[in-house]
Amino acid sequence: MGSLQLNHVNKSFGATQVLFDINLDVADGEFVIFVGPSGCGKSTLLRIIAGLEDSSGGEVRIDGSRVDAVPPAKRGIAMVFQTYALYPHLTVKENMSAGLKQAGTPRDQIEAQVAEASRMLSLDPYLQRRPAELSGGQRQRVAIGRAVVRKPSLFLFDEPLSNLDAALRVHTRLEIARLHRELTATMVYVTHDQVEAMTLADKIVVMNAGRIEQVGSPMALYNNPANLFVAGFIGSPQMNFLRAAAIGMAGAETIGVRPEHLTLSKERGDWAGKVVHIEHLGADTNVYLETEKAGMVTVRLFGEVYHDPGETLWMSPAEQRFVYRFDAAGKVMR
Amino acid sequence: MSKATHSPLRSIAAHAILLTYTVIALFPVFVIIINSFKSKKAIFGAPLSLPLGDAFSLIGYETVFKRGDFLLYFQNSLMVTVASLVLVLLFGAMAAFALSEYRFRLNTLTGLYLALGIMIPIRLGTVAILQLMVASGLVNTLWALILVYTAQGLPLSIFILSEFMRTVSDDLKNAGRIDGMSEYRIFFRLVLPLVRPAMATVAVFTMIPIWNDLWFPLILAPSEATKTVTLGAQMFIGQFQTDWNGVLSALALAILPVLILYLIFSRQLIRGITSGAVK
Ligand SMILES: Nc1ncnc2c1ncn2[C@@H]1O[C@H](COP(=O)(O)OP(=O)(O)OP(=O)(O)O)[C@@H](O)[C@H]1O
Ligand SMILES: [Mg+2]
């Protein structure tokens, strides 16, 4: 239980359409992540799945049955919000039991379920506090706890970590991964953050301007992007795009090579460029080069490498399979 | 913090201005209260002196309690004010919630229509209101006043509350929906507590004009059984002779209940500003 199907889902706000014909299959127990630029409709889609927003067309199925007319509380879902959205006047414990109370669950069962969730997320010391007396990270753990308590078959997360600082984000990310393993529930998760997407997901859904661009496992998207958008969106630093004509390659409109797939040499290579800037990140080094015809190119080298700005270097793809060719419409050519 | 805000000169100037304003605002109240404790001769002889020695007299309060049924007038005023206040806050908040929370056709237009009453004084409609009340048999009942005051208070209440309700986090309401709360429960348990400061503001702005109003009690409910305090106090003011002791004592007494209500709401006003709902 906990599978999710979206069939031809559309959504318009007044005259502006924000989702176009969304089709998606999520198997039971899968961890699916929606990524895409700001405003592409990720939250709207999540809210449609939750039942907080009506779709303008198409159907949503949870566990195989249509839920378009089912209120959010009856869909067997739980949602974690970016702003935590804890009830300010209730204690942590009351926050966590609110949903079960509404559903009329027996008191001892509520106690047991709250105790279990609280143990899982180490919330025991805070149970009697109010949200105002917790730090941001603790509040988000409570919000996750509130979702866990309800034992939903489908978890929905809308950018749950984006209000946390970097260290807490890593920590909470691990916590969510552990939860997914322990609960074996289906999770749908929205994020801006590539690292979150690559590390947590079984399946990534890349969205752009209200459309799904590509669906696949993290490595499938990395290795076989379907188009320019996905190629540019997945991977950091971004893939280098060079106009094929400018570098004398026929038969394609754009050539793409990831920064980590380029090698640098002082003597020979495919394209020459002048070092503009160099960034030392410790484990690796990013070199930015200005080429004569193809614009800026980023090269990511492993370890410590030193070059002087102004130096001319030659770069070439490490292997031919790392060179992506895109046609005029932006589609990858095979 | 910058040094400028701590300079003693600035602080003294600010306090001087505030104190001056306080004195100006409170002076009439002060004069009413001291004179209500004085004999008639003392009121006219030395209006600004304190009620000490010979000047002290409770004659005003005696007349107030002897003539007319002042306790009843108080009760009427209090009932009208509290009932109108409750209705204004309840319906105002509900309408504001609908306007700020739900997308429906003509939402903006409805909001504008409801706010129009802020600019159009309800007294312009007095004749029509009187006809309406006569036709529905509500003349000389407290209901006539309660209904009119509710109508009078709603526009401002809807306007202020809907602005505040827009600031309540959507996520919080959605969390409530996912937990299975009904829209009513979301409104009463999640949204209302968060807009409590705004409710207190609206309550104060609504309450004082109602309590002080003379116009509608005089026109819609002048009977002995439905008189309000402000109307009751008028009986001491005659065409040829005014019983100033009576007027001043009645007014001094009329300040009390509204002062108490104000104190209650202003406490709410301060207490309501604490919450940890969202970051
Ligand atoms: N209530 C609404 N009325 C009108 N337009 C809306 C409404 N809610 C969202 N939109 C529009 O729908 C589009 C998608 O919004 P959505 O919030 O789903 O984006 P998102 O992908 O979650 O962005 P972000 O990453 O910034 O959260 C946006 O262009 C937004 O302007
Ligand atoms: Mg969003």
pLDDT band at B94 (very low <50, low <70, confident <90, very high): very high
With CB atoms and an 8 Å threshold, state whether B178 touches A79: yes
Where does the pLDDT of residue B230 fall: very low under 50, low under 70, confident under 90, or very high at 90 and above? confident
Domain region containing A155:
4-231
Q: How far is CA A273 from the centre of its chain?
A: 34
Strand duo A271-280 + A312-317: pairing: antiparallel
CB B57 within 8 A of CB B39: yes
Question: What sign for the dihedral angle of Cα A262, A263, A265, A267?
Answer: negative
| Cβ contact, residue pair B178, A130, below 8 Å | no
Say yes or no: A74 and A157 in one domain: yes
Read off the tokens for A199.
């590390």
Residue B67 has pLDDT above 90, yes or no: no
What is the rounded CA–CA span in Å between residue A144 and residue B175? 12
Lowest-confidence segment of A2-6, A237-241, A320-324, B65-69 by average pLDDT: B65-69
CA distance A155 to A147: 7
Q: Choose one of A209, A231, A253: the last residue of a domain.
A: A231
The answer as to whether B18 is a domain residue is no
Per-residue model confidence (pLDDT) at position B260: 87
pLDDT at position A18, please?
96
Q: Are A112 and A44 in contact (CB under 8 A)?
A: no
Tokens for B35?
């004179």
CATH number at residue A251: 2.40.50.140
B16-21 long-range Cβ contacts below 8 angstroms, 24+ apart: none
Q: Where are the alpha helices (DSSP H) in chain B?
A: 8-36, 40-45, 59-66, 70-101, 107-115, 126-135, 142-166, 170-178, 183-185, 192-194, 196-212, 215-220, 229-233, 244-271
- Beta-bridged to residue A291, according to DSSP, are A273, A295
Q: Are A255 and A323 in contact (CB under 8 A)?
A: yes
Rg (CA), chain A: 24
Q: Which atom of ligand 1 is nearest to the CA of A14?
A: 4
Residue B142: inside a domain, yes or no?
yes
Coil/strand/helix, residue A179:
helix
Provide the domain count of chain A.
2
Same domain, A48 and A108: yes
Inter-chain touch B279–A83, beta carbons under 8 Å? yes
Mean pLDDT computed over A23-32: 95
- Helical ranges in B37-139 per DSSP H: 40-45, 59-66, 70-101, 107-115, 126-135
Residues 6+ away with beta carbon under 8 Å from A276: A288, A289, A290, A296, A309
Write the residue in A52, A74, A163 that is nearest to B279 by C-beta.
A163
**Among candidates B184, B188, B192, B202, which has minimal Cα distance to B168?**
B192
Q: A87: which 2 tokens? A: 């009830």
Q: What ipTM was predicted for this assembly? A: 0.87
Q: Is A137 left (phi over 0), alpha (psi -120 to 50) or beta?
A: alpha
pLDDT tens per residue, range B239-277: 777 888 888 888 888 888 888 888 888 777 665 444 433
Q: Do A130 and A161 belong together in one domain? A: yes
Q: Mean pLDDT score of chain A, rounded to an integer?
A: 93
Of A170, A205, A231, the last residue of a domain is A231
Q: Are residues A252 and A185 in the same domain?
A: no
Give the lowest-confidence range in A87-101, A219-233, A247-261.
Answer: A247-261
**Ligand 1 atom with the shortest distance to the CA of A37:** 25
Asked if pLDDT for residue B167 goes beyond 50, the answer is: yes
Exposed/middle/buried for A247, CB within 10 Å: 0-12, 13-18, 19+?
Answer: middle
A97 lies in the same domain as A224: yes
pLDDT at B4 over 70: no
B230-to-B84, B124, B129, B180, B217 alpha-carbon distances in Å: 17, 21, 21, 49, 9
Which atom number of ligand 1 is nearest to the Cα of residue A210?
14
Extract the tokens encoding B122: 């309800």
The average pLDDT across A165-194 equals 91
Split at pLDDT 50, 70, 90, the class of B64 is confident
Which residues in chain A are closer than 8 Å to B177, comparing Cβ atoms? Answer: 51-52, 71-73
Residues with CB under 5 A from ligand 2 (ion): A 43
CA angle A123, A124, A128 (to 5 degrees): 95
- What is the H or E stretch that residue A197 is in? helix A194-200
Is residue B179 domain-resident?
A: yes
> What pLDDT score does A263 carry?
93
Same domain, A209 and A245: no
Question: What CATH number is associated with residue A29?
Answer: 3.40.50.300
Q: Supply the CATH number for residue B219's domain.
A: 1.10.3720.10
Residue among A10, A44, A52, A190 to mutate when testing ligand 1 (max atoms within 8 A of CB): A44
My answer on whether A108 and A132 are in the same domain is yes
Please give the pLDDT value at position A168: 87
Nearest to B179 among A47, A82, A99 (CB): A99
Give the C-alpha separation, A236 to A72, whole Å: 37
Laid out side by side, the sheet with A240-243 consists of A240-243, A254-257, A323-326
Write down the pLDDT at residue B110: 92
Q: Which of B163, B183, B164, B158 is nearest to B173 (CA)?
A: B183
Residue B261 domain-assigned? yes
Domain assignment present for residue B253? The answer is: yes
The widest CA-to-CA distance across chain B, in whole angstroms, is 73
What tens digit of pLDDT does each residue of B48-57 get? 888 887 778 8
∠ CA A52-A162-A146, rounded to 5° = 55
Strands A65-66 and A77-80, bridge-based pairing: unpaired
> Is B128 within a domain?
yes
A138 and A199 housed in the same domain = yes
A299 plus A227 within the same structural domain: no
Counted domains in chain B: 1
Domain limit, last residue, from A231, A263, A285: A231
Portion of chain A with pLDDT greater than 90, in percent: 81
Residue B278, pLDDT score: 39
CB A10 within 8 A of CB A55: yes
For B210, the domain range is 69-269
pLDDT class of B61 with cuts at 50, 70, 90: confident
Shared domain for A137 and A187, answered yes or no, is yes
3-state secondary structure (DSSP) of residue A228: helix
Residue A128 and residue B95: Cα distance in Å, rounded?
A: 35
Give the up-direction half-sphere exposure of residue A134: CA atoms within 13 A in the CB hemisphere. 28
Residues A18 and A155 in one domain: yes
Q: Which residues of chain A does B193 touch, with a Cβ-Cβ cutoff of 8 Å?
A: 88-89
Of A153 and B68, the one with more pLDDT = A153
Residue B40 pLDDT grade (very low, low, confident, very high; cuts 50, 70, 90): confident
The whole-angstrom separation of Cα A170 and Cα A5 is 30
Q: In what order do the strands lie in the sheet with A271-280?
A: A262-265, A312-317, A271-280, A284-291, A295-302
Q: Who among A72, A88, A132 is closest to B178 (CB)?
A: A72
Q: Give ligand 1 pocket residues (Cβ under 6 A).
A: A 13, 18, 36, 38-44, 192
User: What six digits make up the tokens of A261?
Assistant: 């797939």
Is the pLDDT assigned to residue A203 strictly greater than 50? yes
Domain contains B103:
yes
Secondary structure (3-state) at A158: strand
Token readout for A159 is 């950018």
Q: Kindly state whether residues A226 and A261 are assigned to the same domain.
A: no
Look up residue A107 and give its amino acid: R
Give me the residues paired with residue A25 across strands: A5
